[in-house]
Structure 1
Amino acid sequence: MNTYLELLFLFVMAVIGGAVNVTIGGGWFIIFPSLIFRGIQPVPGTATTTIVLWSGFLASSKSVQKTGEISKTHFNYMLAACTLGGILGAVLLIAFSPKVFETIAPFLLLCSWILFTFYNRIFNLFNSDNQLIRKFTYTPVKLIPLFILGIYGGYFGAGMGMLLFLLLRFYGIKNNETLERLSLVLIAVNNGIAILIFIESGLIFWPFALVMMAGSIAGGFLGNAWKERMNTVLIKRNAIVYGATVTLYFLDII
């Protein structure tokens, strides 16, 4: 492929991925395969995907003013747990052989696709009147799942936003605006610290990353601007089929 056509392809895919990520989620299924298709190895591919989606997600998100149902002190503890997890996850990605990641990644992708496909049903379970936790109460034990989720975010990260949203809902946080604010900060810091480690380790493939970051930012703004006019049900159905195809390909089934 001609270099300019290659960069144009990656830019367009990043625009789509950025728009999808801020509307229905699942941008990972678009960005990561695009990089692999253009010859990037899986470990640099996941590092580059992280910075591409992170830039679009962060640039197009609303500013965070307060943490709502959680005190600032308790939120700082949660932020620290998620951040430390991100550091460990990024270090694990770098420290282990690429073959380890290449073996695990398809199954992580499968789990992410299952979560993406059935997310609304799962969320409704956490949102039902029968949920066990009625109101958020801080306990140090709640930091453990956040730390583990932080490791996942630093190591792979596909679907982390949905997992974090579900976890916080399970903890008893009911206000969607509060959930969005908390998730925004936790993901931004978790992915941000992992990205710093990736940059220091030379894992980011900058010629593609810079072009795709620009596309992801543009896609994020476009997605937010057109969100209310989009047929998100139809888009998600198509995204589920596309995600299934990508997942089956990485599982060597097709």
Structure 2
Amino acid sequence: MNTYLELLFLFAMAVIGGAVNVTIGGGWFIIFPSLIFRGIQPVQGTATTTIVLLSGFVASSKKIKNTGEISKTHFNYMLSACTLGGILGAVLLIVFSHKVFETIAPFLLLGSWILFTFYNRIFNLFNSDNQLVTSFKCTPVKLISLFVLGIYGGYFGAGMGMLLFILFRFYGIKNNETLERVSLILIAVNNGIAVLIFIWSGLIFWPFALVMTAGSILGGFLGKAWNEKINTLLLKRNAIVYGATVTLYFLDII
């Protein structure tokens, strides 16, 4: 493929991925395969995908002023646990051999696709019967669960936002605005610290990352602007089919 056509292709895929990511989620299924298709190794592709999607996600998000019913002290505990998990996850991606990641990545994709496809059912299944909490308090178990989820976010990260929503809803937070605020900050910091480690380790493929980051940011803004005009049900159905195709490809089934 001609170099200019290659960059145009990646830019276009990043615009689509950024828009999808801020509307229905699942941008990973668009950005990651695009990089692999252009010859990037899976580990480097994961690192590059993280910085591409994070850029569009953060740039198009609203400024967070408070964390709702979660006190600043308890939120700092949560943030610390998720950040430490992100550091460990990023280090594991670097330290483990590429063969290990290439072996488990298809199954992580499969798990992400299942989560994306059946998210509403899973979300309702884990919905706590508790009333809306007025003062969310951290416990060691909650912090450990955030730490483990943070490891996943730093190592792979696809679907982390959905997992955070499910986890916090299970713990009794029913205010969607609080869920969005907390998830946004935790994902930004978790992925952000992972990106810094990836940059330091030289895992980011910058020629593609710069072009796709610009596309992801544009896509994020377009997705936010057109969100109410988009048929999200139809979009998600198409995304499910596309995600299934990508997953089956990486599982060597098709």
Q: What range is the shorter-chain TM-score in? A: over 0.9
State the partner residue of 2:36: 36
Q: CA deviation at 1:138?
A: 2.6
Structure 1 segments unaligned to the other structure (5+ residues)? none
Say if 2:95 is the partner of 1:95.
yes
State the partner residue of 2:145: 145
CA distance in 2, matches of 1:42, 1:35: 8
C-alpha distance after superposition, 1:72-92 (max 9, x if no partner): 000000000000000000000
Q: CA deviation at 1:137?
A: 3.5
Structure 2 segments unaligned to the other structure (5+ residues)? none
State the partner residue of 2:210: 210
Q: Report sequence identity in percent.
A: 86
Q: CA deviation at 1:123?
A: 1.7
Equivalenced residue count is 251
State the partner residue of 2:53: 53
Q: CA deviation at 1:121?
A: 1.3
Say if 2:135 is the partner of 1:124.
no
CA distance in 2, matches of 1:205, 1:188: 20
State the partner residue of 1:174: 174
TM-score by length of 2: 0.97
State the partner residue of 2:189: 189
State the partner residue of 2:201: 201
C-alpha distance after superposition, 1:26-64 (max 9, x if no partner): 000000000000000000000000000000000000000
C-alpha distance after superposition, 1:148-201 (max 9, x if no partner): 000000000000010011111111111111100000000000000000000000
TM-score by length of 1: 0.97
Write out the 4+ residue segments of structure 1 that deviate beyond 4 Å after TM superposition: none
CA distance in 1, matches of 2:201, 2:92: 12
CA distance in 1, matches of 2:235, 2:101: 30
**RMSD of aligned alpha carbons:** 0.8
CA distance in 2, matches of 1:138, 1:43: 34
1:163 alignment partner, SS class: helix
Of the structure 1 ranges 221-230 and 133-142, higher mean CA displacement relative to structure 2 is found in 133-142
